[in-house]
Every structure is written in C-alpha cells, then in structure tokens.
Amino acid sequence: MKMHNPPHPGEVLRALCLEPLHLTVTAAARSLDVSRKTLSAILNGRAGISPEMAVRLSIAFGTSAESWLNQQLQYDLWHAERNKRSLHVKRLTAA
C-alpha cells in the first residue's frame, strides 16, 4: 500500500533515532563510520539511504536494513509517481 506523501527517511532518522538519544550529527556520523557531510545530506533530504547505509543504521539502532530501504523506496516511488506525466513514455503492445 502506497503512503500519501511519505517523509524522507532522513526525517525519520532524526526524529526517531537521533533526537531521542540526544545524538548530534557529528556523534552519530562517528558511530556510523561515515562523514558528517554524508549523514547531514541524508538528514536534510539531499541524499537517500543506500543499501550500505541501511545496514549501518540497522546495526547502530537495532532496526532492520529492510525497513530503511523500504522507507527510501516509498519516498522515491511517491515522488516518481507525482512526476510521471512529465515522462514521455509510450505504452508498448504486442505486434
């Protein structure tokens, strides 16, 4: 089931993981073994959750990598569906 305007996974990460633990971006990035710039881009919706980042998050926060990837998929798909009219694709049919 598609969610209506799902939040970017970075928003979820900030609200449900970093803020409750009172983690700074710097401290979280250090724990995840990524740069502060990389984590900041995710938190601010400028970058998505990669499979590797999903695994890092699952280890750090005791979640599943699949849940992070699913959030990213739902976010990306919702935005792609909103812009599908701008795609110039023709339906293919059997000859």
3-state SS track over the chain: CCCCCCCCHHHHHHHHHHCCCCCCHHHHHHHHCCCHHHHHHHHCCCCCCCHHHHHHHHHHHCCCHHHHHHHHHHHHHHHHHHCHHHCCCCCCCCC
Say what the pTM is.
0.90
pLDDT in tens, 41-93: 999 999 999 999 999 999 999 999 999 999 999 999 999 999 999 999 999 99
Domains of the chain: 9-85 (1.10.260.40)
pLDDT at position 1, please?
54
